[in-house]
Structure 1
Amino acid sequence: MSNLETIKKKLILRKEELENGLSRLYKEKVSEDIVQDTADQALTSSLEDIKISLHNTELDEYKMILKALDMIEKGTYGICVDCGKPISEKRLLLFPNSTRCLICQEALEERESA
């Protein structure tokens, strides 16, 4: 089995895991529909914030996986979207949804944190 096939299988498996998790998160209620005191309301609000944050993080990863799978189908997978150079095989095996080489990813993160 080639590395590309291995990566594609990993991506598809993770995509399915995220679909199940996102579906579960969407359906899950943080609290029952009962009257709550102030402390319970604060806890419910905090839990709801955590749920939203987790949902957004998983949704972002899901979108990245869809993009990577699309790139595999188009034959552009493994090419940095910024500089056009190949992404190292080691990086792709560790982070199969990578769309940037390590140098471009680090530059992006520096710009975002500035």
Structure 2
Amino acid sequence: MSRTADDQRTEGLRRMLLERRQAVQQEIDRSLAAYREGQSRLRDESVPDSEDMSLRSSTADQRISLLESRNRVRDQIDEALRRLDEGLYGICENCGTPIGEARLQALPFARRCVACQEQAELLEQIERREVRKEI
């Protein structure tokens, strides 16, 4: 690939990652706004009973969990942008082989090729089983 083709690919990847990051950031902003609005409404309403409080607590927990998940995705995109700047984007961090284009399109912040990711997930499962046995 020529230098110009490499530069075009890099800029295309950067645009894709930035667009994805912007979409995730907008979801985070909407979630925060909805949470703040809910908190404001809660303060303005009359004293809730225990069922209301339980439902609100559960809903708040779900919103926080979703917000944390979106924040992790944003962090992963930021890391992918850093790797792109360093010339490491699209290279498996375990084995050093190129990550397939289809995988990067589906999961633009992928850090491993499919084979290495499957191996990492298998190791995680084994570690979780061992931790459960210890408990």
Gaps of 5+ in 1: none
Equivalent in the alignment of 2:130: none
Gaps of 5+ in 2: 127-135
Distance 1:5 1:24 in 2: 28
Cα distance, 1:67 vs structure 2? 0.6
Distance 2:122 2:69 in 1: 20
Distance 1:5 1:22 in 2: 25
Cα distance, 1:3 vs structure 2? 4.5
Distance 1:77 1:40 in 2: 48
The alignment's C-alpha RMSD in Å is 1.8
Distance 1:20 1:82 in 2: 32
When normalised by structure 2's length, the TM-score is 0.75
Which amino acid letter does the alignment assign opposite residue 26 of structure 1?
L
Identify which range, 54-63 or 29-38, moves more after superposition: 29-38
Distance 1:51 1:18 in 2: 15
Equivalent in the alignment of 1:109: 121
When normalised by structure 1's length, the TM-score is 0.87
Q: Which has the higher helix share?
A: 2
Percent sequence identity over aligned pairs: 32
State how 1:1-114 maps to structure 2 within 5 Å.
Answer: 2-27=8-33, 28-29=35-36, 30-31=38-39, 32-33=42-43, 34=45, 35-114=47-126
Which amino acid letter does the alignment assign opposite residue 21 of structure 1?
E
The structure with the largest alpha-carbon Rg is: 2
C-alpha distance after superposition, 1:9-65 (max 9, x if no partner): 221111112222222323423441132111111110111110111011101111110
Higher relative contact order (CA 8 A, sep 6+): 1
